[in-house]
Structure 1
Amino acid sequence: MVETKTEAYRQSIYAEVTTRVIKELEEGRLPWVQPWDSAHCGCAMPHNAASKRIYSGINVLILWAAGIDKGYRSQAWLTYRQALAAGGNVRRGETGTIVCYADHFTPKDEEQRAREEGREAQQRAFLRRFTVFHVDQCEGLTDALIQPAMPLAQREMIARADALIAATGAEFRVGGPQAFYSPRGDFISVPHRQAFHDRINFYRTALHELGHWSGHRSRLDRDQTGIYGSADYAREELVAEMGCAFTCASLSIHPTVRHSDYIGAWLAVLREDERAIFRAASQASKAADYLLSHTPAEEWPS
């Protein structure tokens, strides 16, 4: 079968992003745990400045990396047309950041076969690219679009994290020597808060385990049957790591690494399948969204 230009184009997106993530991991850096303390912008999820929509999946990693590498002051992005519609424009000479989104199409031959067989045609997923610009790359925008959000004090972060944990209704067993989630028992075990030198680390740990909890068959139904050391186990750990990072950032908590010793296993998974990081990032976004849905922003303590 001859590969079409469209198929090659789709595959190049997967390969390009996966190669970039592999390079980061090989150098000991995790794309979902950036050096926020040295960044100009506060820790937050990247969002569209016009629609306020939060970017998800692999685009979070792409935009975090671009924003921190270039020293931008916020996590706000726009398309070229959105900048014009907002009364501004992208400055001459600025280079945008390419992100992507999943779409679906139905091949013509599949439509024909489906009609002949009396069934519903099956769609195929593919990625589309589009370009966004950071608001710092634009001029003429209103202050409401370009003004960075004020960072939260730690007490506010903790209040929001406490509200989320309570709202999930997850069973927490506090006092054990280790933190883990039991899919079979559907409970989370964490050490006492006093065991954490930095109080905020209790919440980073709890949110990581809640990332696993979200994957239970009664919730998001991820495959959690992998045994320690297996590729399936590494994939689930990758989802929980990124899901925790996305949830932390949504609460203005700086993400940290829970299990850096899995880097070798993650590299093996990504080298074997160039779409693995896309699937993991998508599942991580779903996990973070699921957890955050329990506590609407308007109900968070201010």
Structure 2
Amino acid sequence: MALKKDILIDKYIEALESGEIPWEKGWNTTRPHNPITGTEYNGFNRLWLTFISHEKGYKDTRWFTFNEIADFKNKYHPDEKWKLKKGSEGVEISKKPSYYNEVEDKYYNSRQYYKKLASLDDGEKEQFKNECKMIWNNKDILYIYNAEEIDGIAPEQGIEVDPMTMDKMNTIIENMGVEYEEQVQDKSYYVQSFDKVVTPPKERFKDESLYFATLLHELSHATGHASRLNRDLSGEFGSEKYAIEELRADIGSAFLMADFGLEFDESHVNNHLAYIQNWAKVLKNDRTILQEAIKDAEMINDYVVEMSKQREMMLSKEMENTALDINNMHVTINPGFEGLNYTVFDSNYHIMDGGLIELNDGQSISAKSFIEFINTKAMNIDLNDYKAARSDYEDIFEKANRMCTLDDRYKRTFNVDQMGYFVSEILENGEIVLDAHEDHRMFFSKEEASQLSKNIPMSHITDNREFVEILKSNIIKGLQSESEVNEIYKKPDSAIFKNISSAKQQIDNTLNYGRGR
């Protein structure tokens, strides 16, 4: 009897020669799994069980051993009596490899190995990989049966998939540390020398699913960088090395698409027509290549899935200038001799606070601890309900500098003679504060303010400071030009001056019963 790997390779070569990509057939968003042991089948087993399911039309993703089905001790499914259907055949699988760390004298399973790898810096990654030896035992064989070959079993309950989103994709890119750029062209690719992924603009893709699929394929290549999984990416287009790297990246991205609930379409096959015949040729020449490619694809899958998880951001003296957005505030952080210098800006890019967190060389502080450190009542950060995300360091300083320039430009002097009064504050009791200048503040009730507003243009009875901040913020955001803001800003005073001769007596009378404080 032919071994399962030989059957699978033969079928794959046959499919490739006919212009099909076989590892894109029959996928479910739920991995083949054993719900009794909690095992999810990965790598070659995953492709093999997916292939068998496609061949036999299985829709159920559950698989069990004979002993689990027979349940002689009545402990696996005591409320259900299962029985294998007559003529059912077991499907052969191999147990997953493990990794032995000789220095730690410790074994890691596949997921533990890549989770550990993802938490290390570049130097530590290389050391850890060198310390670990893969343990792969092809004699460790199991035979399992699909749930559709079992009478008496309850229908499969759907397992909710954690779908791909733009936030999740950004998390993967950020955690991997790979550079990403959209360019107005028609190709997607990964440049190893710059550690950079390039795609056409998102809006050029037929839909978001295809955009995600393309990015996952290029990010699969990026996992081969020396700072990550350290594969040989030196092959040129048309070479066997190039074909093998495309093979492992395509199978890896197929795993990822299933895990993230993405579907294939004909455009994905069309994008890989240049490789399909080459893959068939490579597999014919060396049948072990598919096994190795699948092992690498599983590593890619585990690595990227781990990168899709939010990781706690750590800040240290060794990092480059960085920035955070915390709710409506902006924080810039740069390393100094004694630790981390930070500056906090409000939503309009005015400086609120700043200082230093002392750190020694090699010491770090989590983003959460940093936020707790800078928290004050004035900043009003609710530590039970705040959102923090990386921001653009240079962009914050550019906007803060522009705001300083605008502050100087739009400074105004008010005095009693000009009658340039403006409402600066509305108190909790409903009173309104009318300011002339720093030394002259008048307080009016709602009724008094209403009377006053009949004699002073409504455009002037407003909180000008807030009004000006909005206008300046619009300049920063590019919503309004400075010339437009200049015109808007001038209108309240010009309206006052225009009406001052006719309204002066009534204004004076109104001010007489306003209460100065």
What is the distance in 1 between the residues matched to 2:148 and 2:192?
Answer: 44
TM-score (norm 1): 0.76
- The answer for the alignment partner of 2:6 in structure 1 is 15
What is the distance in 2 between the residues matched to 1:14 and 1:35?
Answer: 18
Residue 58 of structure 1 contacts residue 277 of structure 1 at CA under 8 Å; is this kept in 2?
no
Which residue identity is paired with 1:34?
A: K
User: What percentage of aligned pairs have identical amino acids?
Assistant: 28
- The answer for the alignment partner of 1:131 in structure 2 is 143
Structure 1 residue ranges without an equivalent (≥5): 1-8, 37-41, 105-122
Structure 2 residue ranges without an equivalent (≥5): 99-134, 313-517
- Asked whether 1:285 is paired with 2:298, we answer yes
Structure with the higher fraction of residues in strand conformation: 2
What is the distance in 1 between the residues matched to 2:276 and 2:298?
Answer: 20
Residue 58 of structure 1 contacts residue 281 of structure 1 at CA under 8 Å; is this kept in 2?
yes
Q: Aligned in 2, Cα 1:237/1:93: closer, same or farther, shift over 3 Å? A: same
- The answer for the alignment partner of 1:149 in structure 2 is 159
What is the distance in 2 between the residues matched to 1:79 and 1:35?
Answer: 22
Offset, 1:238:
0.2
What is the distance in 1 between the residues matched to 2:175 and 2:84?
Answer: 42
Which stretch shows the higher mean deviation, 13-22 or 55-64? 13-22
Residue 92 of structure 2 contacts residue 142 of structure 2 at CA under 8 Å; is this kept in 1?
yes
- Secondary structure of 2:93's match? strand
Residue 31 of structure 1 contacts residue 61 of structure 1 at CA under 8 Å; is this kept in 2?
no
- Asked whether 1:271 is paired with 2:257, we answer no
Residue 30 of structure 2 contacts residue 159 of structure 2 at CA under 8 Å; is this kept in 1?
no
Offset, 1:94:
1.4
- Secondary structure of 2:86's match? coil
What is the CA deviation profile of residues 93-140 of structure 1, one whole-angstrom value per residue up to 9, with x for unaligned ones? 212222234679xxxxxxxxxxxxxxxxxx986454432211122234
The match for 1:170 among 141, 166, 178 is 178
Offset, 1:81:
2.0
- Secondary structure of 1:131's match? strand
Aligned residues: CA RMSD: 2.9
Q: Aligned in 2, Cα 1:223/1:151: closer, same or farther, shift over 3 Å? A: closer
- The answer for the alignment partner of 1:221 in structure 2 is 230
Residue 96 of structure 2 contacts residue 136 of structure 2 at CA under 8 Å; is this kept in 1?
no
Larger Rg over CA atoms = 2
Residue 46 of structure 1 contacts residue 76 of structure 1 at CA under 8 Å; is this kept in 2?
yes
- Secondary structure of 1:253's match? coil
- Secondary structure of 2:23's match? coil
- The answer for the alignment partner of 2:256 in structure 1 is 247
Residue 18 of structure 1 contacts residue 275 of structure 1 at CA under 8 Å; is this kept in 2?
no
- Asked whether 1:199 is paired with 2:208, we answer yes
What is the distance in 1 between the residues matched to 2:309 and 2:149?
Answer: 32
What is the distance in 1 between the residues matched to 2:300 and 2:308?
Answer: 14
Q: Aligned in 2, Cα 1:148/1:133: closer, same or farther, shift over 3 Å? A: farther
Runs of 4+ in 1 over 6 A off after TM superposition: none
- Secondary structure of 2:164's match? helix
What is the distance in 1 between the residues matched to 2:19 and 2:141?
Answer: 28
What is the distance in 2 between the residues matched to 1:227 and 1:73?
Answer: 40
What is the distance in 2 between the residues matched to 1:127 and 1:261?
Answer: 37
What is the distance in 2 between the residues matched to 1:294 and 1:206?
Answer: 14
The match for 1:45 among 6, 24, 31 is 31
Residue 94 of structure 2 contacts residue 141 of structure 2 at CA under 8 Å; is this kept in 1?
yes
Residue 42 of structure 2 contacts residue 96 of structure 2 at CA under 8 Å; is this kept in 1?
no
Superposition map of 1:36-115 within 5 A? 42-85=28-71, 86-87=76-77, 88-101=82-95
What is the CA deviation profile of residues 166-216 of structure 1, one whole-angstrom value per residue up to 9, with x for unaligned ones? 443321111242210111111101111001012211100000001001111
Which residue identity is paired with 1:48?
A: N
Residue 92 of structure 2 contacts residue 141 of structure 2 at CA under 8 Å; is this kept in 1?
yes
What is the distance in 1 between the residues matched to 2:300 and 2:90?
Answer: 29
Q: Aligned in 2, Cα 1:157/1:218: closer, same or farther, shift over 3 Å? A: closer
Q: Aligned in 2, Cα 1:250/1:103: closer, same or farther, shift over 3 Å? A: closer
Q: Of the two structures, which has the highest relative contact order with CA contacts closer than 8 Å and spacing of 6 or more? A: 1
Residue 73 of structure 1 contacts residue 148 of structure 1 at CA under 8 Å; is this kept in 2?
no
- Secondary structure of 1:293's match? helix
Offset, 1:58:
1.7
Structure with the higher fraction of residues in helix conformation: 1
Which residue identity is paired with 1:79?
A: T
